[in-house]
Amino acid sequence: MEKEKIKEILFSRLDRYCRIHTTSDPASKTFPSSKNQKNLASILEKELKAIGMKNVKTDKYCYVTAFLEGNSKSGKTLAFLAHMDTSPAACGKNVKPKLHKNYNGSNIVINAGKGIILTPSNCPELKDHKGDDIVTASGDTLLGADNKAGIAIIMTGLETLIKNPHLPRPDIKVAFTPDEEIGRGTDKFNLKDFAADVGYTFDGDIKGTVEAENFNADAIEIKIEGKSVHPGTAKNSMANAARIAAEICSCWPENMTPENTENYDGFIMFDEIKGSIENAVLSGIAREHDIRKLKKMENLLRKIIEEKKEKYPLAKISLEIKEQYRNMKSVIDKNPMVLNKLLNAVRQAGIEPRIKPIRGGTDGARLSFMGLPCPNVFTGGYNYHGPYEWISLDSMYLSYKTLLNLCGQWSE
């Protein structure tokens, strides 16, 4: 009974938030990157006040924060975070969520006309959700459960805590943040004012998933200065920068590219190549969970560059590697309770946690290095950033339970 009631509340929030257009814009120089995000921020601000949260405010950068006093003496302040923007990878305007009740294990038709159909073969993760209530978009847009499901779960959890003051809880802070999808979600976040001891981003996927490690990430830029000569008289006097760039790119071992790696395998990806005979720039990214392996991979790239320098003495070739972000595991390992209490909370919700390495970065990773250890918790969705996105309301309920259990865990 209680479960069905909460699922209804979770759905009504998810549905409401998803309909608000909050796509972030990587081309924008403003913060937040798109004005639309402020519309959701103002709704959330009102709603936080209405459910009884304290110190509710939205700052000029569109960070919505609030506070709830604890009823236990743990002395720690626990934070819950989720992001308001949706990925610019797919349209996020005029989202119309569709509820598919009591999933029967076969196909889910998102849009018959467009042939957008979820099946157990194009999405084996569905097999585990027979009997669940599933929410999808309607074929023209993404759904935006990433990360509006996180917001709905946190909001509903807070409401339950306030209505049930006997439930144990430490002091709680909440933050809804803009621009996560374009990698700027923590750029203007005032962590010092926020003043929490430990945080959890509710921004993961399938039920039970817990993410406490992510890639170490560097950006790569290779610059090549060539030497242009009339092709008719170029023998031994031309250096073609564009061709050298292409050669470096093709020298990189295939088994260390994103399209050939998974789980804990790292890669270097060249994602842009620009050039002419005189000048070329080859840029890319290096990703690896293990920092020593990252350095090893980068040394291999350096070796390739040295070989090309020797092969093309008329060209000038330089390599620059810049740190982007680091694996939060090193921070979380120093605070083992942060992960242990989360694993306990997931188990208390009745599921076995699945610890998964993130093949990317998260706001949680950045926050961890800023001083707020911050693993990532499942919300119950999948196929994010596109029209096949879906989420299970039953899994959202488990995520909500995990949040309440975390409050219990941090009250001890």
Q: Which residues are catalytic?
A: 85, 180
Using CB under 5 A as the binding rule, whether residue 218 contacts Zn ion is answered as no
Tell me how far, at minimum, the Cβ of 403 lies from Zn ion, in Å: 17
- Which is nearer to Zn ion, 67 or 400 (by Cβ)? 400
- Which is nearer to Zn ion, 56 or 143 (by Cβ)? 143
Contact indicator for 297, 256 with CB cutoff of 8 Å: yes
Contact indicator for 188, 63 with CB cutoff of 8 Å: yes
Tell me how far, at minimum, the Cβ of 238 lies from Zn ion, in Å: 48
Tell me how far, at minimum, the Cβ of 382 lies from Zn ion, in Å: 12
Tokens of 275: 């050039």
Q: How far apart are the first and last CA of the chain?
A: 29
Tokens of 56: 């509710």
Map residues 111-140 to x or -, x wherever contact with Zn ion holds by CB under 5 A: ------------------------------
Among 25, 45, 146, 205, binds Zn ion (CB under 5 A): 146
Tell me how far, at minimum, the Cβ of 180 lies from Zn ion, in Å: 6
Pick from 79, 81, 56: which is nearest to 171 by CA? 79
CA angle 92, 97, 102 (to 5 degrees): 145
Using CB under 5 A as the binding rule, whether residue 203 contacts Zn ion is answered as yes
Residues in the chain: 412
Q: Which stretch binds Zn ion (CB under 5 A): 97-105, 146-154, 232-240, 256-264?
A: 146-154
- Which is nearer to Zn ion, 45 or 179 (by Cβ)? 179
CB atoms under 10 Å from CB of 242, counted, come to: 18
Among 147, 156, 344, 405, binds Zn ion (CB under 5 A): 147
CA angle 397, 406, 84 (to 5 degrees): 60
Which helix (H) or strand (E) segment holds residue 371: the answer is none
Q: Which stretch binds Zn ion (CB under 5 A): 53-61, 88-96, 136-144, 196-204?
A: 196-204
- Which is nearer to Zn ion, 136 or 201 (by Cβ)? 201
Map residues 274-303 to x or -, x wherever contact with Zn ion holds by CB under 5 A: ------------------------------
Q: Which stretch binds Zn ion (CB under 5 A): 90-98, 199-207, 252-260, 368-376?
A: 199-207
Contact indicator for 265, 297 with CB cutoff of 8 Å: no
Tell me how far, at minimum, the Cβ of 189 lies from Zn ion, in Å: 16
From residue 30, alpha-carbon distances to 24, 41, 60, 66, 82 in Å are 11, 16, 11, 24, 21
- Which is nearer to Zn ion, 118 or 377 (by Cβ)? 377
- Which is nearer to Zn ion, 33 or 160 (by Cβ)? 33
Q: Which stretch binds Zn ion (CB under 5 A): 99-107, 170-178, 200-208, 274-282?
A: 200-208
- Which is nearer to Zn ion, 146 or 179 (by Cβ)? 146
Tell me how far, at minimum, the Cβ of 101 lies from Zn ion, in Å: 26
CA angle 48, 54, 60 (to 5 degrees): 70
Q: Which stretch binds Zn ion (CB under 5 A): 23-31, 201-209, 228-236, 314-322?
A: 201-209
Q: In what order do the strands lie in the sheet with 216-225?
A: 267-275, 279-288, 216-225, 316-325
Residues whose CB falls within 8 Å of the CB of residue 182, separated by 6 or more in sequence, listed in order: 24, 25, 26, 33, 85, 88
Which helix (H) or strand (E) segment holds residue 243: the answer is helix 241-251
Q: Could you list the residues that contact Zn ion (CB under 5 A)?
A: 146-147, 203
